Every structure is written in structure tokens, then in C-alpha cells.
């Protein structure tokens, strides 16, 4: 296939794959700036795994609800519990996240073992998240989450940044720091839940970490870091999809690979700047 | 005279575990008050109670201006407790001090920008407004955090270990700045420190904070060799040299 044919194929045959992957790339990159700044990168990995576990659970007769709903309920429930445990002093933060991470993976494996054999392929497909087969319904759900999360963060930018920078002083000024923290994690939970269902855990976790770190290496102002991260989230998915078609590669890893190349380039730029 | 802060038989702690028991003392408007004690003695717990982020387990902590108005605190945290991952500029950080006045949904206006500039001028770092906070020296960071507290137009300035980890000249410069804010601006100042020399020569009254040992009074009344020896469990001597108080720790009787 020529380059022009690939572009035409993507736009004509897989428009939701293109637009969906861009939406997820942008919003995950934006939220990822906070996640990296708060030093809770592992939380991103945990939430994607919890979301996948939520999806897997919906294949059990006892929890037979729509996949997206199951994933959302489990993710948000876990977010509420984790956000309370993360502020406690008895168990270290990373231990809490590690426990939830490994339990989610174990639960997913158990569910797969108990699922009817005919469903295993479908489950694995769903858990992996196949960008090329994003449905219009899932895309519009993700678009709704994108608009809501973006609006919340634009409206409350100063509150979220203040709590992230210095929660203790914000509290002395009457800000409900714990409330804002939970609000942040709930928004992230909704986005991660829908996004994982749509494009898979590797893609989501990759975009929660790689564009923000690349942006931190390139930009020297906080607002520019957000802008550069979102730009990487906007541009890496179409380039990655193009590469996936061109070299016959799986789409999610190809897109994450493109983001990783951008990160490597950002790192080189930052090294050159230092000289 | 009505106090700004009044502890009445207050017991402070976390969960059901008391850390400081039965505290009773006042801080008055316009006063320069010190909280001293060893690390882990409960100074931060007491600050949280003053700032209203920790409710007492028993007794009361009353915080109100003599007029009855709500007290506006300008809090200066230990500078290592803030986040250094994102490169906030000094101006952006000082602007955070205005967020309470702005209220939810609002963006900074002209009045907020003027207040930020005024605060930067006040602590003598006008030129640093556009610089990244994380690239500043310890003393400059402390000034930036003080500027943020001033931008909130506080009634009471609370500083947590403001000179911790600083070299001698930065330390003296910060202490002079705080003294200036107290003397010229008539700000009520509460300074928390484990550095006795800093407190001894600057505050008017102080409290020694330790779980089983709590005393409040003037510097001369409280900072005595006997009190400090009890507090630290080692010999401590307090002397005056050229009108300044000097604390000597760890000496023996012969040296005295």
C-alpha cells in the first residue's frame, strides 16, 4: 500500500480508530502531567489493570452487566478506596498500589479460567483493546468523558495545580484538599476506564507517562508542559497508526512506540540544551 | 486584651492518640511568637491546630480577631514539602496565595497581579518573578514562599522552620525579613523552629513544645538552662554575649 492509500484506508475504513486514539492520547497525556508530578505513575498502571479486571468480571454470570459499566464501577470503587488508603500512614503508598495491581491481574486470570471456552478469544480481544475495531458507541462515550474531563480541568485548573503543588498550604487557605484529590482521581478513573476498554492497557498507561515526561524535558513552563504533552497525544496516534499499516504492526504498540521515539528525541534535545 | 489564638485545655493528636495534652495559652494580635522544641515533639501538630486543619481531641482552640472577624493565615511551609517536579515560576507560586480571594471559577485579575508584584517587592525578589522556583537558592525559595503568604493579605503569618538547612547569611537575612514584617507591618507572626538561637533573639514570647513538657512565657522566663536541660536531656547553658542570647549545649560543669 502506498502512503496515500494508507491514509485513505484509515479515514474511510477506520475513522473511529483514528479519532478515538487521538482523544485517548490527548486526555491521557493531559492527566498524565499531574500523575507524573504527583509521583503516582504506578497508580496509572494500577488503574488500567483494575479497569481490565472490571471488564473481565463482566463475563462472569454473577456480574453480567455491560462491559463498559462493569469496568467503570470497579475502577471508580477502587479509586475511592485507594485514594483514602494513599493518604494513610500505616501502609506505604507503593505497597497499597502494588497490592491492588497484583490482585487485579490475579483476578483477571481467574476470571479467564472460569469463562466459557468460546468466550476466551473475545475476552482476550476486549482486554487487549483493539483500536481498529472501536465502535461508534464506545467512541462517543469516550468523547463525552473527554469533554467532561477537559471542562473540569479547565474550570478548576488553579485548584488542581495548587493541590498538586502544595496541598498543605492550600488546606490552610480553606481548600478541601482531600476532596479535590478524590475529584482528580475519579475523573482519571472514568477516563482510564473508558480508554482502556477502547484501546487497551498498554496504550493508556503509555500515554499517561510518555508524553508528560517528554513535555517536561522540552518545555520550561507549566502551562507549556500541558500543551506539549497534549500535542504529542494528538500527533503520535495518527503517525503510529500510519506506521502500523505501513509495516503491518499491531496498532497500540506501534502508537506507543512512536510516542517513545518522541520521548527519546526530547531527551536528546534536553541533553543538547544543557551543553 | 483579647487574644487572636486561645488554647484552653486543648489536647491534640491523631485518631485517638493524644500527642500534646492540656495546653492553655494565648497569642495576641501584633505579637511575635515562637514555638520551639526538638524534632518530633509536636510543633507541627500544634501549627495544624492553630491553622484549623486539626481539631483538638479535647478542650478548645479559638481563633478569631479581637473584632470577631475570621483570622486570615499566611502559611509558609517547610520549603522541601512543596513539589519540585513541575517548573512553576515564582510569580505563579506567589499567585497561588491569591486563590482564596479569587474564589472558584475565577481567573487572576489586575488586582491579583498587582498584589503579587507588591508581595515580590516586599520580600525583595521583584526580579525573580519569571524564574523557575526550583532553580532558586534556599533563601530565595523561602522569600518566594513568604511572598505567597503575604499575597493572601494575612492577619497572622505562620512560618514552619523557615531557616532550616540554610547557610548563615541566608538565615540571618530571612530572620531580618521576618522581623521587618513584624515590626513595620505590625503582622502577628508565629515562627516554628528547632533552632533555639533563631528564636531566642527574635521572638517576644515563646512556647517550648514537648510531649511531657510544655511551657509558655517571655524568652527570659522560658529559655533557661534548667528548662532546656530538662527538654533535651543533656546539659544546656544559656548566656548573654553582647546583648544576644547564646545557647551552649553538651558542655560540662568545668566549662561553665
Cα–Cα distance measured from residue B108 to residue B172, given in angstroms and rounded to the nearest whole number: 34
* Chain A residues within 8 A of B132 when measuring between CB atoms: 220
Report pLDDT for A89.
Answer: 67
List, in sequence order, the alpha helices (H) in B17-129: 43-51, 90-96, 99-102, 110-122
Instruction: Fill in the DSSP letter of residue B53.
Output: S
Kindly determine whether residue A36 and residue B85, on different chains, have CB atoms separated by under 8 Å.
Answer: yes
Exposed / middle / buried, residue B71 (Cβ in 10 Å: 0-12, 13-18, 19+): middle
* Chain B residues within 8 A of A173 when measuring between CB atoms: 73, 75, 99-100, 152
Residues belonging to chain B: 256
Kindly determine whether residue B89 and residue A221, on different chains, have CB atoms separated by under 8 Å.
Answer: yes
* Chain A residues within 8 A of B54 when measuring between CB atoms: none
Note whether A189 and A9 are within 8 A (CB).
Answer: no
Q: Does A162 touch chain B (CB under 8 A)?
A: yes
Min Cα distance A50 → chain B (Å) is 27
* Chain A residues within 8 A of B148 when measuring between CB atoms: 169
Closest residue to B75, CB basis, from A39, A165, A169 = A169
pLDDT-wise least confident of A59-68, A203-212, A219-228: A59-68
Cα–Cα distance measured from residue A15 to residue A19, given in angstroms and rounded to the nearest whole number: 6
Dihedral, B207, B209, B215, B217 alpha carbons, nearest 10:
-10
Q: Please give the residue of chain A at the shortest CA–CA distance from B71.
A: A173
Helices A15-37 and A201-218 pack at an angle, to 10 degrees, of: 60
CB pairs under 8 A between A and B: 70
Min Cα distance A142 → chain B (Å) is 25
Q: Does A122 touch chain B (CB under 8 A)?
A: no
Cα–Cα distance measured from residue A84 to residue A82, given in angstroms and rounded to the nearest whole number: 5
Min Cα distance B104 → chain A (Å) is 7
Percent of chain A with pLDDT over 70: 93
Report pLDDT for B106.
Answer: 86
* Chain B residues within 8 A of A169 when measuring between CB atoms: 75, 77, 82, 96, 148
Q: Does A171 touch chain B (CB under 8 A)?
A: yes
Kindly determine whether residue B104 and residue A222, on different chains, have CB atoms separated by under 8 Å.
Answer: no
Which residue positions in chain B have pLDDT lower than 70? 1, 251-256
Min Cα distance A194 → chain B (Å) is 27
**Which three cell numbers, joined as nine digits, stand for B156?**
497572622
Q: Please give the residue of chain B at the shortest CA–CA distance from A161.
A: B96
State the pLDDT confidence band at A112, using cuts at 50, 70 and 90: confident
Min Cα distance A113 → chain B (Å) is 43
Cα–Cα distance measured from residue B173 to residue B227, given in angstroms and rounded to the nearest whole number: 29
Mutate to test the interface with B, among A158, A167, A227 (most CBs of B within 10 A): A158
**Which three cell numbers, joined as nine digits, stand for B35?**
514555638
Q: Is the dihedral of CA B240, B242, B246, B252 positive or negative?
A: negative
**Mean pLDDT, chain A, integer:** 89
Percent of chain A with pLDDT over 90: 59
Closest residue to A172, CB basis, from B75, B85, B132 = B75
Predicted structure pTM score: 0.87
Other beta carbons within 10 angstroms of residue B123's beta carbon come to: 23
Closest residue to A222, CB basis, from B53, B86, B107 = B86
Contacts for A110 with CB less than 8 Å, ≥ 6 apart: none
Contacts for A98 with CB less than 8 Å, ≥ 6 apart: A42
Kindly determine whether residue B75 and residue A164, on different chains, have CB atoms separated by under 8 Å.
Answer: no
Note whether B150 and B97 are within 8 A (CB).
Answer: yes
Instruction: Fill in the DSSP letter of residue B233.
Output: T
List, for residues A3-44, the tens digit of each pLDDT value.
Answer: 889 999 999 989 999 999 999 999 999 999 999 998 888 888
Note whether B118 and B140 are within 8 A (CB).
Answer: no
State the pLDDT confidence band at A79, using cuts at 50, 70 and 90: confident
Contacts for B245 with CB less than 8 Å, ≥ 6 apart: B197, B200, B201, B219, B223, B238, B239
Cα–Cα distance measured from residue B70 to residue B28, given in angstroms and rounded to the nearest whole number: 14
* Chain A residues within 8 A of B51 when measuring between CB atoms: 171-172
List, for residues A95-109, the tens digit of each pLDDT value.
Answer: 888 999 999 999 988
Report pLDDT for B254.
Answer: 45
Kindly determine whether residue A173 and residue B89, on different chains, have CB atoms separated by under 8 Å.
Answer: no
Cα–Cα distance measured from residue B158 to residue B61, given in angstroms and rounded to the nearest whole number: 16
> What's the ipTM?
0.86
Cα–Cα distance measured from residue A208 to residue A38, given in angstroms and rounded to the nearest whole number: 12
3-class DSSP assignment, residue A117: helix
| Residue of B184, B162, B181, B182 lying closest to B172 (CA atoms) | B162
Closest residue to B105, CB basis, from A37, A155, A222 = A155
Question: Number of helices (H) and strands (E), helices first, in chain A?
Answer: 12, 0
Q: Which residues of B touch A (CB under 8 A)?
A: 51-53, 73, 75, 77, 81-83, 85-89, 92-93, 96, 99-100, 102, 104-105, 107, 132, 148, 152, 158
Report pLDDT for A129.
Answer: 66
State how beta strands B244-249 and B236-241 pair. Answer: antiparallel
Cα–Cα distance measured from residue B182 to residue B170, given in angstroms and rounded to the nearest whole number: 18
Closest residue to A169, CB basis, from B77, B92, B104 = B77
Residue that the C-alpha cell 502551562 belongs to:
A223
Amino acid at each position: 500500500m502506498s502512503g496515500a492509500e494508507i491514509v485513505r484506508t484509515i479515514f474511510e475504513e477506520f475513522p473511529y480508530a483514528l479519532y478515538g486514539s487521538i482523544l485517548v492520547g490527548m486526555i491521557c497525556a493531559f492527566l498524565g502531567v499531574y500523575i507524573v508530578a504527583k509521583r503516582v505513575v504506578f497508580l496509572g498502571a494500577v488503574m488500567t489493570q483494575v479497569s481490565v479486571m472490571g471488564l473481565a468480571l463482566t463475563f462472569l454470570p454473577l456480574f453480567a452487566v455491560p462491559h463498559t459499566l462493569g469496568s467503570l464501577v470497579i475502577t471508580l470503587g477502587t479509586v475511592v478506596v485507594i485514594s483514602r488508603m494513599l493518604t494513610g500512614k500505616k501502609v506505604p503508598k507503593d505497597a497499597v498500589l502494588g497490592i491492588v495491581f497484583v490482585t487485579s491481574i490475579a483476578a483477571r486470570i481467574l476470571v479467564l479460567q472460569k469463562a466459557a471456552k468460546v468466550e476466551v478469544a473475545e475476552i482476550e480481544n476486549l482486554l487487549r483493546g483493539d483500536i481498529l475495531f472501536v465502535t461508534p458507541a464506545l467512541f462517543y462515550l469516550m468523547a463525552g468523558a473527554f469533554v467532561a474531563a477537559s471542562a473540569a480541568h479547565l474550570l478548576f485548573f488553579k485548584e488542581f495545580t495548587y493541590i498538586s503543588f502544595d496541598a498543605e498550604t492550600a488546606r490552610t487557605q480553606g481548600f478541601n484538599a482531600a476532596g479535590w484529590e478524590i475529584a482528580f482521581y475519579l475523573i482519571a478513573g472514568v477516563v482510564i476506564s473508558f480508554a482502556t476498554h477502547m484501546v487497551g492497557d498498554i496504550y493508556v498507561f503509555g500515554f499517561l507517562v510518555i508524553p508528560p515526561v517528554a513535555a517536561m524535558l522540552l518545555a520550561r513552563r507549566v502551562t507549556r508542559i500541558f500543551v506539549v504533552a497534549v500535542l504529542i497525544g494528538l500527533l503520535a496516534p495518527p503517525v503510529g497508526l500510519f506506521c502500523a499499516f505501513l509495516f503491518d504492526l499491531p496498532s497500540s504498540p506501534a502508537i506507543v512506540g512512536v510516542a517513545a521515539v518522541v520521548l527519546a528525541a526530547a531527551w536528546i534535545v534536553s541533553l543538547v540544551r544543557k551543553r | 486584651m483579647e487574644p487572636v489564638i486561645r488554647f484552653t485545655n486543648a489536647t491534640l493528636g491523631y485518631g485517638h492518640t493524644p500527642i500534646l495534652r492540656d495546653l492553655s495559652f494565648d497569642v495576641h494580635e501584633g505579637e511575635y511568637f515562637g514555638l520551639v522544641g526538638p524534632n518530633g515533639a509536636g510543633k507541627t501538630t500544634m501549627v495544624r491546630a492553630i491553622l484549623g486543619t486539626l481539631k483538638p481531641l479535647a478542650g478548645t482552640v479559638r481563633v478569631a480577631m479581637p473584632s470577631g472577624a475570621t483570622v486570615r493565615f499566611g502559611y509558609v511551609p517547610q520549603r522541601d514539602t512543596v513539589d519540585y517536579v513541575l517548573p512553576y515560576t515564582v510569580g505563579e507560586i506567589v499567585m497561588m496565595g491569591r486563590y482564596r480571594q479569587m474564589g472558584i471559577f475565577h481567573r487572576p485579575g489586575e488586582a491579583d497581579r498587582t498584589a503579587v508584584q507588591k508581595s515580590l517587592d516586599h520580600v525583595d525578589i521583584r526580579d525573580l518573578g519569571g524564574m523557575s522556583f526550583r532553580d532558586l537558592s534556599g533563601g530565595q525559595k523561602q522569600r518566594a514562599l513568604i511572598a505567597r503568604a503575604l499575597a493572601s493579605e494575612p492577619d497572622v503569618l505562620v512560618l514552619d522552620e523557615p531557616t532550616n538547612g540554610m547557610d548563615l547569611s541566608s538565615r540571618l537575612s530571612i530572620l531580618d525579613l521576618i522581623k521587618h514584617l513584624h515590626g513595620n507591618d505590625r503582622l502577628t507572626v508565629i515562627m516554628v523552629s528547632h533552632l533555639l538561637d533563631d528564636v531566642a533573639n527574635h521572638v517576644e514570647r515563646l512556647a517550648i513544645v514537648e510531649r511531657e513538657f510544655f511551657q509558655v512565657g517571655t524568652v527570659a522566663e522560658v529559655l533557661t538552662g534548667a528548662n532546656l536541660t530538662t527538654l533535651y536531656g543533656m546539659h544546656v547553658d544559656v548566656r548573654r554575649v553582647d546583648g544576644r542570647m547564646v545557647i551552649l549545649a553538651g558542655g560540662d560543669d568545668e566549662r561553665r
